């Protein structure tokens, strides 16, 4: 994996205080969010569709700014003004990578090579270094054969691989993923979880927004639940949170008739011993 | 209405290619000031939907279907300047990706479909729709705007075609580019669009506006009407001036005709043109100097008068729209 | 909805005109596959594919202008012949190339040119006496010149478009100092066009698959314009999302591309050859006039 050095972790990666975000006056998509995400943590933000988890992810990536409250990353305030500073923008973008839910949106270049090279080039890296990073990531993700293909000739799973590769070439410390398992075939899902396991081993931070609770069990060590009125209603280990059946029912993450945690479906095709997996059977 | 390469001579396409560049530059500056860096994806998507909308078969009557250009629709949705860029990009991509539409004629095509059409369409729409929130009035306004704008654009294309036999032909009278005189090309383009393509454009635009109005009325929010656009008018005026210069200097491109031949050439008049010219000479009193009776001059005057009318009407509409907005603002302030 | 995938043709209506939805789906599908085939053609091993896209871009301009300046129909025909030969040398089937050029631009030009050959439009000595519709010598010459000019321009442009990958074209534009914002927009436009065309094709196929009888013209039109509105909505939503995705990867207002095709001396030799050809054509053309 193209990972950075182990991190110093002096400050939490993200600190949100009293964050509110309105998409229209009087219509919040997030409300009263107080949340700190530590360095090296693996957090799943769970919530029903429309609960604001994608919005939260976009705020962590400095794409949206709070209507009220503050958000800080690596000890610095994230504001629109801060991003006007090219130095800050470059530093922040190189440390935080965002994998969008819709790979079609994320892949905007003319072929996969350009996709992987886009980030490093925007960071102003020399061409040699860009090529080296593209080659490394392509090899690690096993997508070398896709490099000269335009995005519209790729399958869904291949697109997801390329869009993750496009973020990893920036060698970020934080990876933000929006509904990463949506629309992935089983083999690609296994592949994704392997990539995330590897990521975890290197001490980097991961924040995943999803309504797929099996992802939380597989890779998270912390789970934050957003309610349908856009507030944090639970925050704990996956084991603790998944045990709160009533709460999960209330926020529309599970359904009476779905016995998710009676018979957990495992997507991994390989052994996880040593990764500290916990399976919760409610 | 796409003019392929080969129909327009260099005197015409060079003028239009040169004229379109400053228009693009102004459009880019306008769009950038409102959209900032977001302009890249928005213009790209605007261009993509402009391109794809041209591929829909719109049923008109009986079994007949036609393709709409969509420039007025895009001007209503994104504003006229953004429409200039979106439709232009769509036309450029069409030329470079599919080899359709011509390289040298890009300026002419962009001028007709990406400048004339969105601006005429936009201002006609604003004039009729005013600041109404009523979907019905907006739908009808959009249809009229689409119809008028494509007919005007077609007339521009007709003029460009019709100038060719005047601008370039051999001494024997053999036309080098599009062969039809103005008296054939302009009515042909106008009638075709008045009778058929105008309706395609109007029905398509009305349908889309109605559908968007029912589901996402926010998309139909009125874009602020630009003040009468000095730069655009300067470009129009430049074109009107440049066109006659092109007509009067047809030899310069070849550099082969002396004054004698030039006179011989100017003496040659296609039959259709002779009729227009006849109208002109008939209207000129006998005591006028001889050169005023030249049918070519008659045509030129007609071309200039026509352009002035189009520019004047559009300008008037733009001024009216801007004034009405001012009034609304001040009355809103008063209230 | 109960979808049984019955098409009019399955109901014994095989000779019916294909439905509107089917015709649109097919024509859009042809465009999509054209883009994909271009990709194959442009990466094939051939003469033009080996040339730096910058040289080809300049050549496309050079030949378009040359085609517009020539006056002799012979030389215009020669230009098209050169294009055919280059096609053959560049893994492009000359037959499909000629069919494409003559089938679209050429055919239209012929239809337009024929009436102009008559004395009604172009006066002059009679070449073919047909009463009121007699063809004049300058008329016929003019018509032939127009058709050949259109075909020569369309042919050279198409040949270069077919042998150049879109991504290389964009790289070439960047290196020819075309502003990044334009190149970035073109890159995104092409990708979105393919994506929207696929959506459009799917929409029409889905319609076709549950159509048993075609509705009235007004119903069909409402359906078509409703789908156009859908494409508009989808585009605007996608534009916002793509912008976020660009920002997330450090977009700072300019695009950077890595030059993966290195131009060499050979490419400039090709360009010089192209310029010499163009100059020779123009020179002969002028000489023939005297």
Would you kindly state where each structural domain of chain B is located, as residue ranges? Answer: 10-334
**Among A60, A8, A70, CA closest to A39:** A8
Give pLDDT tens digits for B241-288. Answer: 555 444 444 333 332 333 333 334 433 333 333 444 444 444 444 444
pLDDT band at residue A256 using 50, 70 and 90 as cut-offs: low
Contact C148, C76 (CB under 8 A): yes
Closest Cα in chain B to C204 = B56
Residue C241 lies in a domain: yes
Which chain B residues are Cβ-neighbours of C67 within 8 angstroms? Answer: 5-6
pLDDT of residue B296: 54
Say yes or no to pLDDT of B27 above 50: yes
The alpha carbon of residue C14 is apart from the nearest alpha carbon of chain B, in Å, by 17
pLDDT of residue B9: 85
- Give the integer Cα–Cα distance in Å for B35 and B179: 44
Could you tell me which residues come within 8 angstroms of residue C276 by beta carbon, excluding any fewer than 6 positions away? none
What residue numbers bound the domain in which C66 lies?
44-164+262-284
pLDDT of residue A43: 92
Span B211-220, average pLDDT: 77
Could you tell me which residues come within 8 angstroms of residue B20 by beta carbon, excluding any fewer than 6 positions away? B88, B106, B107, B110, B111, B115
- pLDDT > 90 in chain B, percent: 14
- Give the integer Cα–Cα distance in Å for A183 and A126: 36
- Give the integer Cα–Cα distance in Å for B330 and B209: 29
- The H-or-E segment that residue C180 falls in is helix C180-209
Closest Cα in chain C to B202 = C225
The alpha carbon of residue C236 is apart from the nearest alpha carbon of chain B, in Å, by 7
Contact B154, B184 (CB under 8 A): no
Least confident of A68-82, C24-38, C60-74, C250-264: C250-264
Closest Cα in chain B to C148 = B6
Q: What is the DSSP string of chain A?
A: ----PPP---S-SEEEEEEEEEEETTEEEEEEEEEEE-TT-EEEEEE-TTSSHHHHHHHHTTSS--SEEEEEETTEE--HHHHHSHHHHHHHHHHEEEE-S-HHHH--SSSHHHHHHHHHHHTT--HHHHHHHHHHHHHHTT-GGGTTS-GGGS-HHHHHHHHHHHHHTT--SEEEEESTTTT--HHHHHHHHHHHHHHHHTT-EEEEEES-HHHHHHH-SEEEEE-TTS-EEEEE-HHHHHH-HHHHHHTTSS-TT--TTTSPPP---S--TTS-------
Using CB atoms within 10 A of its CB, is residue A82 exposed (0-12), middle (13-18) or buried (19+)?
middle
Contact B228, B322 (CB under 8 A): yes
Span B322-331, average pLDDT: 58
Q: Are residues C51 and C153 in the same domain?
A: yes
Span C19-45, average pLDDT: 79
C29 contacts chain B (CB < 8 A)? no
Between B173 and A32, name the one with better pLDDT.
A32
B66 contacts chain C (CB < 8 A)? no
Could you say which DSSP state residue B113 is in? I
Span B79-89, average pLDDT: 90
Least confident of A232-246, B236-250, C16-30, C199-213: B236-250
Tokens for A54, please give them. Answer: 């994608």
C84 contacts chain B (CB < 8 A)? no
Say yes or no to pLDDT of C64 above 80: yes
Give pLDDT tens digits for C143-167. Answer: 888 899 999 999 988 888 888 887 7
pLDDT band at residue B213 using 50, 70 and 90 as cut-offs: confident
Tokens for A272, please give them. Answer: 């996880």
- Domain B10-334 indexed as CATH 3.40.50.300: no
3-state class of B61 per DSSP?
A: strand
Please state, in angstroms and as integers, the Cα–Cα distance from residue C89 to each residue in B234, C44, C164, C243, following that order. 48, 11, 14, 42
Calculate the average pLDDT of chain C. 79
Give the phi and the psi of residue A71 in degrees, each rounded to 5. -135, 130
pLDDT of residue B195: 86
- Give the integer Cα–Cα distance in Å for C87 and B156: 36
- Give the integer Cα–Cα distance in Å for B145 and B117: 9
pLDDT of residue B192: 85
pLDDT of residue C240: 77
Between B288 and B198, name the one with better pLDDT.
B198
Tokens for A146, please give them. Answer: 């896709």
Taking only residues 97 to 126 of chain C, the set having a beta carbon closer than 8 angstroms to any beta carbon of chain B reads: 104-105, 108-109, 112-113, 116, 120-124
For chain C, list the strands marked E by DSSP.
126-128, 135-136
pLDDT of residue C131: 76
Give this prediction's pTM: 0.74
pLDDT of residue B72: 93
Give the phi and the psi of residue A34 in degrees, each rounded to 5. -115, 120
Q: Look at A121 and C256 and tell me if their CB atoms are within 8 Å.
A: yes
pLDDT of residue C147: 92
The alpha carbon of residue C135 is apart from the nearest alpha carbon of chain B, in Å, by 12
3-state class of B59 per DSSP?
A: strand
Residue C11 lies in a domain: no
**Among A248, A230, A228, CA closest to A238:** A248
Span C253-257, average pLDDT: 62
The alpha carbon of residue B73 is apart from the nearest alpha carbon of chain C, in Å, by 10
- Give the integer Cα–Cα distance in Å for B64 and B266: 44
pLDDT band at residue B135 using 50, 70 and 90 as cut-offs: confident
Calculate the average pLDDT of chain A. 81
Contact A224, A56 (CB under 8 A): no
C188 contacts chain A (CB < 8 A)? yes
pLDDT of residue B110: 93
Taking only residues 280 to 319 of chain B, the set having a beta carbon closer than 8 angstroms to any beta carbon of chain C reads: none
Taking only residues 142 to 201 of chain C, the set having a beta carbon closer than 8 angstroms to any beta carbon of chain B reads: 142-143, 145-146, 149-154, 157-158, 161-162, 166, 169, 181, 184-190, 192-193, 195-197, 200
Tokens for B90, please give them. Answer: 């769509």
Residue C48 lies in a domain: yes
- pLDDT > 70 in chain B, percent: 63
Residue C192 lies in a domain: yes
C245 contacts chain A (CB < 8 A)? yes
Using CB atoms within 10 A of its CB, is residue C30 exposed (0-12), middle (13-18) or buried (19+)?
exposed
B184 contacts chain C (CB < 8 A)? yes
Give pLDDT tens digits for C207-249. Answer: 777 766 667 778 788 888 888 888 888 887 787 788 888 888 8
Say yes or no to pLDDT of A229 above 50: yes
Residue C124 lies in a domain: yes
Could you tell me which residues come within 8 angstroms of residue A177 by beta carbon, excluding any fewer than 6 positions away? A98, A99, A206, A207, A208, A209
Please state, in angstroms and as integers, the Cα–Cα distance from residue A27 to each residue in A58, A67, A228, following that order. 17, 11, 13
Between A34 and C217, name the one with better pLDDT.
A34
Q: In what order do the strands lie in the sheet with A96-99?
A: A96-99, A174-178, A205-210, A42-47, A222-226, A232-236
Residue C8 lies in a domain: no
Neighbours of chain B (3+ CB pairs under 8 A): C
Q: Are residues C27 and C85 in the same domain?
A: no
Say yes or no to pLDDT of A207 above 90: yes
Using CB atoms within 10 A of its CB, is residue B244 exposed (0-12), middle (13-18) or buried (19+)?
middle
pLDDT band at residue B303 using 50, 70 and 90 as cut-offs: low
- Give the integer Cα–Cα distance in Å for B244 and C161: 35
Q: Are residues C157 and C271 in the same domain?
A: yes
Between B283 and B138, name the one with better pLDDT.
B138
Calculate the average pLDDT of chain B. 73
Q: Look at A167 and C249 and tell me if their CB atoms are within 8 Å.
A: yes
Torsion angle in degrees (nearest 10) through CA of A203, A207, A208, A211: 130
Residue C4 lies in a domain: no
Say yes or no to pLDDT of C18 above 80: no
Span B162-184, average pLDDT: 79
Span C135-149, average pLDDT: 86
Say yes or no to pLDDT of C186 above 70: yes
pLDDT of residue B288: 44
- pLDDT > 90 in chain C, percent: 6
Give pLDDT tens digits for A94-147. Answer: 899 999 888 877 787 777 888 898 888 888 888 889 999 999 999 988 888 988
Q: Are residues C194 and C151 in the same domain?
A: no
Number of domains into which chain C is organized: 2
Closest Cα in chain C to A85 = C252
pLDDT of residue B147: 93
Q: Are residues C48 and C141 in the same domain?
A: yes
Could you say which DSSP state residue B171 is in? T
Say yes or no to pLDDT of C257 above 70: no
Any idea how long chain C is? 290
Q: Which residues pair with C157 in a beta bridge?
A: none
Of A58, A97, A114, the CB nearest to C257: A114
Span B199-224, average pLDDT: 81
Q: Are residues C51 and C159 in the same domain?
A: yes
pLDDT of residue A267: 41
Torsion angle in degrees (nearest 10) through CA of C140, C142, C144, C147: -140
What ipTM was assigned to the predicted interfaces of this complex? 0.83
Centre a 10 Å sphere on the Cβ of residue C252 and count the other Cβ atoms it contains. Answer: 17
């Amino acid at each position: 994996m193209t990972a950075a050095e182990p991190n110093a972790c002096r400050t939490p990666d993200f600190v949100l205080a009293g964050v509110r975000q309105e998409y229209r006056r009087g219509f919040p998509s997030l409300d009263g969010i107080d949340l700190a995400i530590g360095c090296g943590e693996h957090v799943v933000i769970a919530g029903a569709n429309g609960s604001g988890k994608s919005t939260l992810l976009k705020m962590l990536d400095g794409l949206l700014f709070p209507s009220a409250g503050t958000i800080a990353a690596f000890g610095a305030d994230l504001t629109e003004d801060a991003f006007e500073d090219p130095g800050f923008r470059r530093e922040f973008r190189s440390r935080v990578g965002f994998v969008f839910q819709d790979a079609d949106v994320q892949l905007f270049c003319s072929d996969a090579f350009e996709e992987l090279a886009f980030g490093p080039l925007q960071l102003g890296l020399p061409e040699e270094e860009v090529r080296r990073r593209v080659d490394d990531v392509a090899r690690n993700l096993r997508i070398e054969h896709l490099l000269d293909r335009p995005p519209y000739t790729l399958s869904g799973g291949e697109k997801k691989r390329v869009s993750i590769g496009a973020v990893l070439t920036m060698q970020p410390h934080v990876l933000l993923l929006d509904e990463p398992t949506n629309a992935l075939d089983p083999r690609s899902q296994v592949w994704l979880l392997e990539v995330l396991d590897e990521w975890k081993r290197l001490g980097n931070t991961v924040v995943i927004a999803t309504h797929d609770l099996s992802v939380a069990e597989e890779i998270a060590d912390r789970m934050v639940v957003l309610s349908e009125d856009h507030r944090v209603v639970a925050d704990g280990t996956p084991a603790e949170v998944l045990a709160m059946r009533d709460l999960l029912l209330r926020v529309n993450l599970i359904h009476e008739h779905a016995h998710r945690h009676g018979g957990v479906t495992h997507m991994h095709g390989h052994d996880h011993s040593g990764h500290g997996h916990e399976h919760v059977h409610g | 209405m796409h003019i392929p390469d080969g129909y327009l001579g260099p005197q015409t396409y060079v003028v239009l290619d040169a004229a379109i560049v400053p228009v693009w530059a102004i459009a880019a500056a306008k769009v950038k000031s409102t959209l900032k860096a977001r302009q890249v994806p928005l213009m790209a998507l605007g261009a993509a939907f402009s391109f794809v909308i041209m591929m829909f078969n719109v049923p008109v009557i009986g079994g007949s279907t036609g393709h709409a250009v969509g420039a007025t629709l895009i001007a209503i949705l994104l504003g006229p300047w953004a429409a200039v860029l979106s439709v232009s990009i769509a036309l450029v991509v069409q030329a470079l990706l599919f080899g359709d539409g011509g390289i040298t004629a890009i300026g002419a095509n962009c001028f007709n479909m990406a400048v004339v059409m969105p601006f005429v369409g936009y201002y006609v729409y604003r004039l009729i729709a005013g600041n109404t929130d009523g979907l019905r009035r907006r739908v009808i306004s959009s249809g009229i705007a689409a119809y008028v704008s494509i007919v005007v654009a077609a007339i521009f294309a007709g003029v460009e075609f019709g100038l060719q036999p005047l601008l370039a032909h051999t001494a024997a009278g053999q036309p080098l580019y599009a062969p039809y005189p103005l008296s054939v090309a302009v009515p042909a383009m106008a009638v075709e669009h008045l009778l058929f393509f105008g309706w395609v454009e109007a029905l398509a635009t009305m349908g889309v506006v109605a559908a968007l109005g029912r589901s996402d009325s926010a998309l139909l929010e009125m874009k602020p009407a630009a003040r009468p656009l000095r730069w655009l008018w300067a470009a129009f005026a430049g074109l009107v001036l440049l066109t006659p210069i092109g007509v009067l200097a047809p030899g310069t491109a070849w550099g082969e005709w002396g004054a004698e031949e030039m006179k011989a050439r100017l003496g040659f008049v296609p039959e259709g043109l002779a009729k227009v010219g006849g109208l002109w000479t008939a209207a000129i009193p006998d005591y006028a100097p001889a050169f005023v009776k030249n049918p070519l001059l008659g045509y030129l005057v007609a071309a200039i008068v026509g352009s002035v009318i189009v520019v004047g009407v559009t300008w008037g509409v733009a001024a009216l729209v801007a004034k009405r907005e001012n009034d609304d603002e001040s009355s809103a302030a008063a209230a | 909805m109960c979808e049984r995938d019955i098409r009019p043709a399955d109901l014994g209506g095989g000779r019916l005109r294909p439905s509107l939805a089917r015709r649109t789906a097919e024509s859009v599908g042809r465009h999509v596959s054209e883009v994909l085939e271009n990709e194959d053609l442009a990466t094939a091993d051939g003469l033009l594919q080996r040339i730096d896209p910058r040289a080809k871009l300049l050549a496309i301009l050079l030949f378009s202008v040359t085609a517009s300046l020539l006056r002799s129909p012979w030389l215009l025909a020669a230009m098209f012949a050169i294009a055919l030969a280059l096609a053959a040398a560049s893994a492009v089937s000359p037959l499909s190339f000629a069919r494409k050029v003559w089938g679209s631009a050429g055919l239209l030009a012929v239809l337009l040119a024929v009436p102009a050959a008559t004395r009604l439009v172009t006066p002059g000595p009679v070449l073919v006496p047909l009463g009121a519709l007699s063809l004049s010598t300058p008329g016929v010459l003019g018509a032939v010149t127009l058709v050949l000019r259109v075909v020569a321009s369309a042919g050279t442009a198409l040949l270069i478009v077919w042998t150049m990958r879109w991504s290389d074209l964009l790289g070439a534009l960047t290196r020819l100092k075309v502003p990044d914002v334009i190149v970035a927009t073109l890159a995104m436009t092409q990708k979105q066009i393919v994506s929207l065309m696929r959506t459009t094709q799917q929409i029409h196929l889905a319609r076709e698959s549950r159509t048993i009888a075609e509705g009235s013209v007004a119903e069909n039109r409402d359906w078509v314009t409703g789908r156009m509105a859908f494409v508009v909505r989808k585009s605007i939503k996608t534009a916002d999302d793509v912008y976020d995705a660009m920002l997330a990867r450090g977009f700072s207002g300019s695009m950077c591309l890595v030059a993966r095709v290195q131009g060499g001396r050979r490419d400039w030799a090709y360009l010089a050859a192209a310029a010499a050809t163009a100059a020779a054509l123009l020179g002969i053309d002028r000489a023939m006039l005297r």
